[in-house]
């Protein structure tokens, strides 16, 4: 390898365009090692390591302005503090990406299941225990789009504060006592965390036998679906053991027509 590299050769070695190296020179974060009398810029092969450090700092989320500031007065202690700060940011970014992947994986699973089930058919299924973060629904007098999203924001803030990873769709819970009186209005909004948690705002959905119905239609048709399930339970001499759970399957982000929404209703029975 030659003792010095032209700007184009150095850019090729770094895997970037020549314009990038020229710009780094212009803003002062990577100056040429040598200027020839004819004005040509030349770089030392050793400067590839400096470029790699700059590229790594950029990948950590540092702006070129921040890198320029550090390069103008760099020292070992500041560099160590900088790396520790960026390591913490990377850990948080990694956690966020992990939650995002779980959300995508879960959504794929829900959609694939939804495309391969008998919609409108009620069946019995043994279900595992689940834990849910809940928030009360707005009162009838205060029920509107704004109050709904305020409540959903409460759920989101709780998930973020506890670092639970909100990777499941929003669901609703109807209390058993209200359901048995044909009051099908939701009492709670809910969503599942990625791990078990106990404490305030946490609801435990017990393991056991459940009557399951996948219902297609807008939210306005849920009452008819609940009525259908009540009739099924009575006809088959079953008893309701606990609260009723509804979870969106195909909704706003996957279906544009509300009449094509798909919801899963689960009722514990014995």
Q: Which of the four pLDDT bands, split at 50, 70 and 90, describes residue 264? A: very high
44 lies in the same domain as 111: no
39 lies in the same domain as 117: no
CA 87 to each of CA 20, 60, 80, 83, 137: distance values in angstroms, whole numbers, following the listed order = 26, 8, 10, 6, 40
From the list 240, 159, 164, 166, the residue with the least C-alpha distance to 206 is 240
116 lies in the same domain as 248: yes
- Domain assignment of residue 78, yes or no: no
110 lies in the same domain as 180: yes
Over 50: is that where the pLDDT of 18 sits?
A: yes
164 lies in the same domain as 219: yes
**Sequence-ordered strand ranges (E) for the chain:** 5-6, 34-35, 41-43, 123-127, 130-136, 171-174, 188-191, 202-205, 208-216, 244-250, 262-268
CATH number for the domain harbouring residue 158: 3.20.80.10
253 lies in the same domain as 124: yes
Q: In which order are the strands placed within the sheet that holds 34-35?
A: 5-6, 41-43, 34-35
DSSP single-letter state for residue 195: S
112 lies in the same domain as 218: yes
Q: What is the pLDDT of residues 182-207, one digit of tens each?
A: 999 999 999 888 777 788 889 999 99
- Domain assignment of residue 197, yes or no: yes
163 lies in the same domain as 257: yes
Query: Which residues fall within 8 angstroms of residue 70, CB to CB, at 6 or more apart?
Result: 57, 78, 79, 82
Total number of domains in the chain:
2
240 lies in the same domain as 120: yes
pLDDT value of position 235 = 96
- Helix H segments across 171-263? 176-180, 222-235
Q: Which of 60-69, 75-84, 136-145, 225-234 has the highest mean pLDDT?
A: 225-234
149 lies in the same domain as 57: no
Range of the domain at 254: 104-268
Positive or negative: CA dihedral 156, 160, 162, 166: positive
């Amino acid at each position: 390898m030659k003792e010095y590299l032209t700007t184009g050769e150095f850019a090729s070695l770094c895997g970037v365009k020549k314009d990038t190296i020229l710009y780094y020179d212009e803003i002062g974060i990577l100056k040429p090692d040598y200027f020839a009398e004819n004005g040509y810029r030349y770089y030392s092969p050793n400067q590839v390591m400096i470029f790699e450090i700059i590229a790594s700092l950029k990948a950590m989320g540092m702006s070129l302005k921040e890198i320029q500031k550090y390069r103008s007065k760099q020292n070992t202690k500041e560099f160590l503090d900088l790396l520790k700060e960026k390591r913490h940011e990377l850990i948080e970014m990694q956690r966020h990406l992990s939650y995002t992947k779980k959300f995508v994986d879960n959504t794929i699973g829900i959609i694939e299941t939804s495309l391969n089930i008998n919609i409108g058919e009620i069946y019995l299924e043994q279900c595992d225990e689940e834990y849910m973060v809940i928030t009360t629904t707005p009162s009838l007098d205060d029920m509107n789009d704004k109050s709904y999203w305020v409540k959903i924001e409460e759920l989101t803030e709780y998930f973020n504060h506890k670092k639970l990873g909100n990777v499941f769709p929003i669901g609703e819970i109807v209390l058993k006592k209200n359901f048995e009186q044909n009051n099908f209005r939701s009492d709670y909004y809910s969503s599942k965390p990625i791990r078990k948690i106990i404490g305030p705002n946490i609801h435990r959905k017990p393991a056991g036998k459940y009557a399951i119905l996948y219902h297609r239609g807008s939210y306005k048709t849920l009452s008819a679906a609940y009525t259908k399930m009540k009739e099924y339970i009575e006809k088959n001499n079953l008893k309701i053991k606990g609260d009723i759970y509804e979870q969106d399957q195909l909704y706003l982000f996957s279906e544009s027509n509300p009449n094509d929404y798909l919801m899963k209703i689960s009722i514990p029975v014995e």
